[in-house]
Amino acid sequence: MTVLDAFDLDGETAIVTGGNRGIGRAIANALAEAGASVVVANRDAASGEEAAEEISDSTGADAFAVECDVTDEDAVEAMVEATVERFGGVDVLVNNAGIVVHEAIETMSLEEWSAVLTTNLTGAFLCSRAAGREMMENGGGVVLNVSSMSAFIANYPQRQVAYNASKAGLEGFKNQLASEWAEHGIRVNNLAPGYVATDNADQGAQVAENAVETWEGEMLMDEMASPEMLGPTAVYLASDASAYMTGETIVLDGGYTVR
């Protein structure tokens, strides 16, 4: 076995929530390129199907889309069932679906707070619970949560307290889950990006003056990442290349937090 064989995902099945666009799309594509069959799980059925078709066409991997709101318990259970029916099991779950609300805490509504926590944190719980049961039956697997550097720092100039709380929650979630599921052969790690050029970051850029200039001024790499830059690290965390790693977070932020 060569060192590159450890990154091979041939014969594996990966669910990527929010795999239709942005970071999730790039991760789904990267996992497919490494050989995995991929399930794109998101709310907008049309873009999910389009993404699955394009991933399949460009990589040759088997890919299909399941319409799924990660905050809906029944929809999540049905999505995992559809995956098992089609591919026979689940080896990798990428909890990527996430939203941000840019609002100061003093004017934030309970609905806004709850929407962020429910999507980013409860969604990861529901998907991990459903996929984890399948992994346990099949002798193991990998859970990869897309966290954020925002779990560890304060962002500025935009306001986003619910988001940072949800991402910090994903860190505690990952630690405890890694501990509880090690005996089932399930590894749990987080990938914590810095600023990545997607719709999510665009939202932040629109609410605060000079936001992009401010962010880029803090980075050692001088510009936001493209979603594709996260692909290789996601393959590493999803594959046997990281077989000895669990309960950890890789911060991939272009040198933002080191300053």
Does 160 contact ligand NDP by CB under 6 A?
A: no
Strand order, beta sheet including 37-42: 63-67, 37-42, 13-17, 92-95, 141-146, 186-193, 249-252
Does 18 contact ligand NDP by CB under 6 A?
A: yes
Angle of helix 161-181 relative to helix 110-117, nearest 10 degrees?
30
Does 111 contact ligand NDP by CB under 6 A?
A: no
Does 129 contact ligand NDP by CB under 6 A?
A: no
Euclidean distance between CA atoms 95 and 140, whole angstroms: 17
Options 55-63, 64-72, 124-132, 175-183: segment touching ligand NDP (CB under 6 A): 64-72
C-alpha pair distances (Å), 88 with each of 65, 135, 142, 184, 213: 16, 11, 16, 18, 47
Does 39 contact ligand NDP by CB under 6 A?
A: no
Q: How many C-beta neighbours within 10 Å does residue 10 have? A: 10
Euclidean distance between CA atoms 221 and 206, whole angstroms: 22
Does 80 contact ligand NDP by CB under 6 A?
A: no
Among positions 78, 84, 99, 208, the unique one binding ligand NDP when judged by CB under 6 A: 99
Question: Of 206-225, which residues contact ligand NDP (CB under 6 A)?
Answer: none
Euclidean distance between CA atoms 86 and 64, whole angstroms: 9
Instruction: With CA atoms as reference, report the closest residue to 120 among 70, 158, 79.
Output: 70
**163 catalytically annotated:** yes
- Region for residue 110 given its phi and psi (left: phi exceeds 0; alpha: psi -120 to 50; beta: otherwise): alpha
Among positions 119, 164, 189, 239, the unique one binding ligand NDP when judged by CB under 6 A: 119
Residue keyed to tokens 């001088």:
222
Options 66-74, 128-136, 152-160, 171-179: segment touching ligand NDP (CB under 6 A): 66-74
Euclidean distance between CA atoms 159 and 56, whole angstroms: 38
- CA 87: distance to chain centroid? 21
Closest approach, Cβ 139 to ligand NDP, in A, equals: 28
Does 23 contact ligand NDP by CB under 6 A?
A: yes
Does 196 contact ligand NDP by CB under 6 A?
A: yes
Which is nearer to ligand NDP, 10 or 156 (by Cβ)? 156
Which is nearer to ligand NDP, 22 or 141 (by Cβ)? 22
Does 155 contact ligand NDP by CB under 6 A?
A: no
Does 146 contact ligand NDP by CB under 6 A?
A: yes
Does 128 contact ligand NDP by CB under 6 A?
A: no
Catalytic pick from 156, 163, 195, 256? 163
Site for ligand NDP, rule CB under 6 A: 17-18, 20-24, 42-44, 47, 68-71, 96-99, 119, 123, 146, 148, 193, 195-196, 198-201
Active site residues: 163
